[in-house]
Structure 1
Amino acid sequence: MMKTTTHISFCLLVLLIACNNNSSRQEKLPAPSSTLPEYTDTLTRAADTTGTSDEQNFLTTFTAFQAAVKTNSVHDITSFIHFPIQTGMQWTNADVQAGKVNKLATAVSSEAFTKYYHDIFHDAVRRIIPQATSDELHEIDKNINEDYYISLRQAVDKNSRMYEVYEQYPEPNGTADSFFGFIFGRVQGKYKVLAYYGKWPVKTQ
C-alpha cells in the first residue's frame, strides 16, 4: 500500500512539473498582433505636404502683396515682382501660330518698371487687390496646354504651383466691364508676380 501511494504521489509531482513548464513556455510567446502594420504612402504624403506648403507660402506672400499695394509704395511692390514681368494681354495658341505675339516686346524690365508702374498698379488695382479674398485666387492647372501659361512656367522653380488672381469690375462710365489679373509663381523659393494682364495693353508691341 505504501508503494502504491508513493507511486501515485510521484506521478502527480511529474504531472504538476510538466504543467508548470508548459505554462512558462506559453507566457514567453509574444501575443499575436490583431492588426497589420500601418502602410505609409510616402510619395502621396510628400506630395500633399509640398502642396500645402506651396499654398501657405503663396497665401502669406499674397497677404503681404496686398499690404504693399494698399500703401502704393513702388519700392515695396518691386520686391514682389519677378523681372522681366510679362504685361501683354493674355494670348492664345492661335495668336502664337498667327505670329501675333511678341513676348519680349510686352515684358517690362526692372529698369523700366517705374515708367509703367501706374499702368500696372492703376486705381482699380490699388482699390480692389487689398480687398481680394481667397475666393478670387485660383491655382493654375499644371497641365494646362496654353502657351501663355507655359511661357510663364519656364521661370518658376521645379514643381512650383502657379496661382492667378482675376478681378472684373465696372468701368467709371458704367457702360462696360473691365478686368485685370496677376499670375504668381515660386522663384528661388519665394512667390513672385510673374505677369499682369488687363483689358488694355501696358506696352504696345
Structure 2
Amino acid sequence: MTGVRQVVTRSPDRRVGFASCPWFRSDPIEYESLLERDFIRLALLDLQISSISEQPFVLDLGELGAYTPDFLLKGPNLKTVVEVKPKVFANNRRNAPRLKRANELLGQKGYRFMVATEEFIHADKRHVRAAILLRHARSHLSAGVTARVLVIASCFPRGIQIGKLASSAEVSKPTVLHLVARRKLRIAPSLILDDSELVYPIGGCDDNLHA
C-alpha cells in the first residue's frame, strides 16, 4: 500500500464537495459523489468511529491494477476500509473482481472491507435523518445548557424519550438533537427523531444500540 492522493477532483459527471464537522475533526471531510456524502453523514453519527480518512492509500491488486479505496474508518475496536459505489457498478465485470481481490488483500493486512452501496446507505432513508441531525450540529450551546441536559440524561442509562428530556431540561427539541449530532448523546441506529424515541447517555447500556 502506498500513500494518500488528492481527493476532490472536479468533474461534470460527479458532485464533489466537503462535509464540515469541526467537532469531529479540524479539516472538512472530502467527498466525490452524493452517495459518498450520504455515507459520511452516517459515519459521523456512529460512535464506534473516531477517525475517517479519505482515499487513505493505494493498494496494488497485481494484474488487476491499482486500487484506491474511498474511506478508512478507525475506532478503538474498528479498522474498516470502505468502498462507496452504486450497486450496479460494484457488481459489474470490471469492478467485481477488483473489489473481491481488494477484500482478500486487506483481510490479510488485518482490515475489514466493506462495499457500501445505495441499498445500505439509503436504507429506510436513514441518510435523510442523518442530514437533519447534522444540521442541528451547526448550532452553538452554552456550557451550562449542555451540562444540564447531560446530567438529566445520565440518570436514564436505559434511555429517555427525546421529548421528555427536552421538557425536563427546559430546552427545545433541537437542543437535544444538537447533542446527539455532536456525539454527546446516543441514539438508535435507525436515527428516528420522534419525540417518543429514546436517547442515551454516552456509556449507557442498551441491547439495541449497535451500528
Give the TM-score normalised by structure 2. 0.23
Structure with more of its chain in helix, by fraction: 1
Instruction: Find the structure with the greater CA-based Rg.
Output: 1
Which structure has more RCO (C-alpha within 8 Å, separation ≥ 6)? 1
Give the TM-score normalised by structure 1. 0.23
